[in-house]
Amino acid sequence: MLSRVAASFYWLSRYIERSDGILRMLKINYASSQDSVDGFSWEPVIRIFSGPDEELMTKLNNDSRAVLKYMVIDKENHNSILNIITLARENARSVQEHIPKDLWQCLNEYYHTVKEPRIASGLKKDDPIGVLDVLIKQVMLYYGTAEITMERGQGRSFMNIGKYLERAIQSIDILDVKYGPLNANPNLLTDITYWKHLLMSIGGYELYQKTYRDGLEAQNVLEQVILNNDFPRSVIYSVNNIQRYFDRLKNNSNVNDYREISFHIGRLQSSIKYSSVKSIGQEGLHQYLIRVKDDLYQIGNQLNEYYFANS
């Protein structure tokens, strides 16, 4: 497979996964903004995807519709759904002959849907959840189509590596941002809605209910999002899958490159597997998350160098 094509697969997939994460997060956060008396803040969401930006926060003024517009269709926002899906589509376009026609059409439709006027007008005056659902459905269609039609080959491995890498980074960012304010405001530790929304925004609330019988607790949430093997958005689950799909790239002609990245992934996987909520607490959550994220970035860089021929 051409290096450029592999890179496009990887990025295509990262962008789609990111759009999925953003849309779900927006949906839940919007719902909670309608459900809170003492000042709901959009700041964490904006921080995850746009970084800390005082000016922007002032401009958006914590207004739900303004935030949604900014996150979904604002051309100036690099991480708006519109821009992300445009990039995903450009990547898909450059590998069009490698992906099934169904998948290309699906992505193409997603792109045209985001550009439809009804999305903009819906965010402005109709029910925003309905609008977000339209888009979330497009992502689900994409994943379903990819699952059914993609050839089980290298291309799919690169796609899945991209997908899980992006997912792991997102889960880490969410934890980091959500646990940040705890030091300043210990009351949050026992704020049930706060944790409920965190879990719901990554689709983990039901699983949590089944696993932990004793109500919502910060420590348990942490355990589920980092260490639960069965939670599809947990960090360990994502890293396991990076490992799994990277294994399939093993080939006689690039043994050394393969081994180097494989070593790196394996080390990261073990370091997460053999940590516990307690050991994470000792290291400091923020430090721990930063360390894992750095490792993930490095794996991305190594792929870029050894497999995508961009050194």
Partner 1 sequence: MYQSQHFDKYNLINGVWDEMYSENSTVRDHYQKVIQYLSQESPDDLAKKEELAKRLFMTQGITFTVYNSGEGIEKIFPFDIIPRVITATEWAFVEKGIKQRLTALNLFLKDIYHNQFIVKDGIVPIDIVYSCPHFLREMYQLDVPYDVYVHIAGIDLIRDHDGTFYVLEDNLRTPSGVSYMLENREITKRLFPDLLPNCGVRSVTEYPSILYKNLLSLSPRQISNPTIVLLSPGIYNSAYFEHTTLARLMGVELVEGRDLVVNNHKVYMKTTTGLQQVDVIYRRVDDEFLDPLVFNPNSVLGVAGLMGAYRKGNVAIVNAIGNGVADDKATYIYVPDMIKYYLNEEPILKNVPTHRLSNKDERDHVFKNINTMVVKKTNESGGYGMLMGHASTEEEIEKYKLEILKDPRNFIAQPTISLSAAPCYIGGVLQPRRIDLRPYALCGPDGIEIVPGGLTRVALTEGSLVVNSSQGGGSKDTWVLA
Q: Where on the chain is the footprint of partner 1 (CB under 8 A)?
A: 1-4, 6, 75, 90, 93-94, 96-97, 101, 104-105, 108-109, 112, 154, 158, 249, 251, 253-254, 307-309
Q: Which residue, 38 or 97, has its beta carbon nearer to partner 1?
A: 97
Considering only CA atoms, which of 12, 244, 27, 232 is closest in space to residue 142? 12
Q: Which residue, 6 or 242, has its beta carbon nearer to partner 1?
A: 6
d(C-alpha 243, C-alpha 262), whole Å = 7
Q: How far is the CB of 141 from partner 1 (least distance, A)?
A: 13
Query: Is-contact 41 117, C-beta < 8 A?
Result: no
Q: Tell which phi-psi region holds residue 159, choosing left (phi > 0), alpha (psi between -120 and 50) or beta.
A: alpha
Q: Which residue, 288 or 307, has its beta carbon nearer to partner 1?
A: 307
Q: Which residue, 86 or 243, has its beta carbon nearer to partner 1?
A: 86
Q: Which residue, 211 or 302, has its beta carbon nearer to partner 1?
A: 302
Burial call 158-185: b when 16+ CB within 10 Å, e when fewer: bbbbbbbbbbbbbbbbbbbbbbeeeeee
Q: How far is the CB of 309 from partner 1 (least distance, A)?
A: 5
Q: How far is the CB of 249 from partner 1 (least distance, A)?
A: 7
Q: How far is the CB of 22 from partner 1 (least distance, A)?
A: 22
Considering only CA atoms, which of 94, 71, 68 is closest in space to residue 82? 71
Alpha carbon separation from 74 to 60, 71, 78, 136, 305 (Å, rounded):
12, 6, 8, 18, 32
DSSP 8-state assignment for residue 187: G
d(C-alpha 144, C-alpha 95), whole Å = 19
The helix (run of H) or strand (run of E) holding residue 84 is helix 81-93
Q: Which residue, 50 or 113, has its beta carbon nearer to partner 1?
A: 113
Q: How far is the CB of 267 from partner 1 (least distance, A)?
A: 23
Q: How far is the CB of 143 from partner 1 (least distance, A)?
A: 19
Greatest pairwise CA separation for the chain in angstroms? 61
Within 10 Å of residue 234's Cβ, how many Cβ atoms? 24
Q: Which residue, 5 or 68, has its beta carbon nearer to partner 1?
A: 5
Q: How far is the CB of 26 from partner 1 (least distance, A)?
A: 24
Q: How far is the CB of 162 from partner 1 (least distance, A)?
A: 14
d(C-alpha 197, C-alpha 88), whole Å = 28
d(C-alpha 257, C-alpha 302), whole Å = 9
Q: Which residue, 32 or 302, has its beta carbon nearer to partner 1?
A: 302
